[in-house]
Amino acid sequence: MPVRVEVATEADVPVILGLAGEVEHWFGPMVGHPGFQRALDDHIAGQRAFVAFGPGGEPAGAVLFGGAPPRFAVHWLVVADHVRGQGAGRTLMSAVIERLTDGAGLAEGEVVEVVTFGPDHPGAVDSGARVFYERLGFVPAEPAPDGPEGGSRQVFRLNARPLNGGRG
């Protein structure tokens, strides 16, 4: 499915909050949570947030990211349930790598890290997040602190190499 990725603006906040509401059962409360709203505002102000739209203009996903060489991070990624597995996540991640590296791709010694569900978290299977990141070339690394809902988390790391096969 072709998606259009744009730098998120304040006008996109309701769209992003709508997407966040779809996944609160996995991530814990976000919509209406002051910490999430602050993070969203900060990422938008720093042009470190993207929103994706499908061919009909429907919201397809969003991502918050940051960092600086040699360590970059995906802070939060969501793909709308109705488009999962159709390439929206892959397109968002490609746009993130493009932005973080000024189009050059990851250089030797650079990494992108993301904290996602631990292997025992129900969201690991239901959302497909772990498989999604592995298909992009991320490898499981050390455990991370539990999420706000109490579920386990794990760091996944992408080293310098192009995104490989798979769909998100």
Q: What is the pLDDT of residue 147?
A: 82
Give the pLDDT mean for 141-155. Answer: 88
Tracing tokens 């650079």 back to the chain, one arrives at: 110
- Whether pLDDT at 168 is above 50: no
Contact indicator for 131, 95 with CB cutoff of 8 Å:
no
Model confidence at 167, pLDDT cuts 50, 70, 90, reads very low
pLDDT per position as a tens digit, 80-90:
988 988 999 99
Q: What is the pTM of this model?
A: 0.89
Q: What is the pLDDT of residue 127?
A: 77
Q: Each residue of 24-59: b (16+ CB within 10 Å) or e?
A: bebbeebeeeeebeebbeebbeeebbbbbbbeeeeb
Q: Residue 3: which H helix or E strand, with range?
A: none
Model confidence at 165, pLDDT cuts 50, 70, 90, reads very low
Contact indicator for 13, 44 with CB cutoff of 8 Å:
yes
Q: How far apart are the first and last CA of the chain?
A: 11
pLDDT per position as a tens digit, 98-142:
999 999 989 999 999 999 989 888 777 777 889 999 999 999 999
- Whether pLDDT at 71 is above 60: yes
Contact indicator for 136, 164 with CB cutoff of 8 Å:
yes
Contact indicator for 147, 112 with CB cutoff of 8 Å:
no
Mean pLDDT computed over every residue of the chain:
89
Q: What is the pLDDT of residue 161?
A: 64
